Amino acid sequence: MNVRRLDVRHLLCPLPVIRTQQKVKELMSGDVLEVVSTDPGALNDIPAWCRVNGHRVLKVTEQDREVVVRLEVSKTSQ
């Protein structure tokens, strides 16, 4: 299991989700991706994208105008 970090700060919708999707394609099942965004929409958009695509949201936090979504990659749904 690898833990990766994706910095999508200062990007607006839909770019945080698009960049997350691109990064997930590079990862293996079971890997963890931590996405850091300043777009408040990412608070809902990235977890929704995860649900649709079968990835598991491990944690969502919001602090100092940053949204951090930690997800586990699942390749079974792709």
Catalytic residues: 13
Q: Quote the CA–CA distance of 52 and 38 in Å, as a whole number.
A: 22
Q: Which tokens in the block code for residue 16? A: 């945080």
Helices 42-53, 15-26: crossing angle, 10 deg rounding:
40
Cβ-Cβ contacts under 8 Å for 21 (sequence gap 6 or more): 49, 53
